[in-house]
Amino acid sequence: MVLATDQITKYLIMTRLSVGGTVDVFPHFFRIVSVRNKGIVFGLFSQGSVQNSQWIFIGFTVAAMAAIIVYSERKKISGSLEFYPLALILGGAAGNLVDRILRGRVIDFLDFSIRDRHWPAFNVADSGIVIGVTILLIQQWIEEKNQKRASVGQ
């Protein structure tokens, strides 16, 4: 679902907004932009040689996706709550991987700011990754807390 939503929204941005174009949705808070990001999540590591870094990012993404799939198979998580955040992360990684392979850059378009604070533009795939990781961390924290309670009660 993340992959499909990501690619559809990126297609809409590419076909309806020129590179560098903006649409104010909520002035001084949220706007739609058309950015081509040669870095990773939120524009990190966008400096340097595009050609070399794209292969590194593609390799890293494929390795991370393979690790998630192998981990999921070994732990048989398909029926657990851990499945959902991992699916978000996997879908997000796949969405940005498609951009890197087809376009050599990732399409970013969600742009937020509050007063003079500006968050780098991002996309649905980035959101899936961040939300998935956040849910995993919360799940891990809850699990550790429950394990401590159980060990104290014994």
Residue type, 37: N
CB 32 within 8 A of CB 49: no
Tell me whether strands 106-114 and 117-118 are parallel, antiparallel or unpaired. antiparallel
* Residue 116 appears among annotated catalytic residues: no
Write the DSSP symbol of residue 49: -
- Across the beta sheet with 22-26, the strand order is 22-26, 30-37, 106-114, 117-118
Of 138, 109, 113, give the one whose Cα is nearest residue 124.
109
- Quick one: angle between helices 83-103 and 2-16, nearest 10? 30
User: Which residue in the list 99, 108, 111, 116 is annotated as catalytic?
Assistant: 108
Q: How far is CA 127 from CA 34, 80, 154, in A?
A: 17, 22, 41
Give the SS3 label for residue 32.
strand
**Residues known to be catalytic:** 108, 126
